[in-house]
Amino acid sequence: MRVGIEAIAFHGPEHYVELADLAKARGVDPDKYTKGLGQIRMAVATPMEDTVTMAVNAARKVLSNFDIDPHDIGTLVVGTESGVDHSKPVAVYVHDALGLRANCHTYETKHACFGAMAAVFSANDWISCGRADGAKALIIASDIARYPIGDPGEPTQGAGAVAMVISDRPHLLQFDPEVRGHYTKQVMDFWRPLYSPTAFVDGHYSIGCYLNALEGALVDALDKATFPERYAMERLQACIYHVPFAKMAAKAHHRHFEIDAGEAIDTESERYVEVRKAFSEKTQRWLSLNAVVGNIYTGSLFLSLIDLLRGSTSDDLKQISMFSYGSGCAASMSIAYPTPGFERFRQAIDPEPELNARRKLSISEYENIIWLHDSLATGDTEELRADEWDLHGDFLYLGNHKHIRRYRGLECGICEARRSERLAASEHQH
């Protein structure tokens, strides 16, 4: 059975900050952010845009853009590390907003930035073993990366959601059915205690943990594979990675290349030219969206995938590798095969028009958003107004009343249309 990604879509906040402007405001050379991190802009979520609203909007896009009947969704999973409740899953809010059927298996996954990939693997197994009975899985990666003003992690913020439909009709990408490599180790490289609204991170240590996990996951995949040459760099037209910041992908690809070559390659060695060439051809080309959105935690890898699919043809791509990493830590390495003809869906998945329509924030506007978000962290709030934030979306967070989160937004139009069609068909049969 062929299982993979039938549809994919991105949704992000309606505002952004230029990293060069942020650098100047913090008294830092802009090159430190734009060249050192590889980031150009970062998406900024207003208080009315949260993990739920981004997940719902991404899901609506993926169903509508690919003409998928919501009634066909049998499993819904949201992977997130910035949920809105310690108990109630984001997925339940999404289920309600989309009007999905009552017997849709619905839950949330968490393992830092690995949560969405864990959900993808679970959906793949659910369909492959025959238990889906023709149904599809809707997997959403939705997160807000937020750090305190002036924190070293401030330029690595971002926000967004990627929604994917996994099915036995993989119009975009088919997963390798044989092998995936895994790696897990308890480390304190990045974490957010229950009492803290923002995360703690040991940056340099986390980079080392990431690279060690990449090696562990790749070695595990090679050990399991009947045909290890499937993972050979020369057979891969693209290698995409978890992207907390764009330059991390360069470090990841360097390590990946070293493992493939069977030797350490110093940046001063002659072979490093090969590393740079491979990175330019197989990875760097698919980082433009990450560079203007920022870190979206669980969705970062899949944002690179969108970039890959919107900018390639099936003549260019036959086989790709995907590396997912979540701090704490867990990682996986897997192989996938772009479906011949996937380029016909390019317009349906390309988020660039919406990204270009975002409004640029001044640094003072951005800081006001962060301060207000912190003040809304506990207790009831006054109702938030979209016009005060220059927002145009129809599904937004309105604030809390009696400790209950409230949202504004009509049920998904495609859901209503499909429901009417089914009702009319049922009445006709009777």
Write the CB contacts of 328 (distance below 8 Å, at least 6 apart in sequence): 111, 112, 186, 187, 188, 189, 190, 191
Question: For residue 142, what is the enclosing H or E element?
Answer: strand 136-145
Q: How far apart are the first and last CA of the chain?
A: 36
Of these residues, 18, 111, 113, 253, which one is catalytic? 113
Q: What is the dihedral of CA 282, 288, 293, 296, to 10 degrees?
A: 0
Phi, psi of 81 (to 5 degrees): -120, 10
* Parallel/antiparallel/unpaired status of strands 73-79 and 238-241: unpaired
Cis preceding-peptide flag for 329 (omega within 30 of 0): yes
Any alpha helices (H) in 133-287, and if so which ranges?
203-224, 246-261, 272-282
Position 359: which residue type?
Answer: R
Torsion over CA: 237, 325, 242, 355 (sign): positive
Q: What is the dihedral of CA 234, 240, 244, 250, to 10 degrees?
A: 20
Task: Let me know if 113 is a catalytic residue.
Answer: yes
Supply the DSSP symbol for 97. H
Of 112, 115, 45, nearest to 78 by C-alpha is 115
* Parallel/antiparallel/unpaired status of strands 105-109 and 173-184: unpaired
Of 306, 304, 280, nearest to 290 by C-alpha is 304
Answer whether 120's CB lies under 8 Å from 298's CB. Answer: no
Supply the DSSP symbol for 110. -
| Buried-state track 120-132, b at ≥16 Cβ within 10 A, e below 16 | bbbbbebbeeeeb
Task: Let me know if 11 is a catalytic residue.
Answer: no
Of 142, 164, 159, nearest to 293 by C-alpha is 159
Of these residues, 81, 108, 154, 343, which one is catalytic? 81
Question: For residue 422, what is the enclosing H or E element?
Answer: helix 413-429
Of these residues, 15, 242, 253, 256, which one is catalytic? 242
Task: Let me know if 81 is a catalytic residue.
Answer: yes
**Which residue numbers are catalytic?**
81, 113, 242
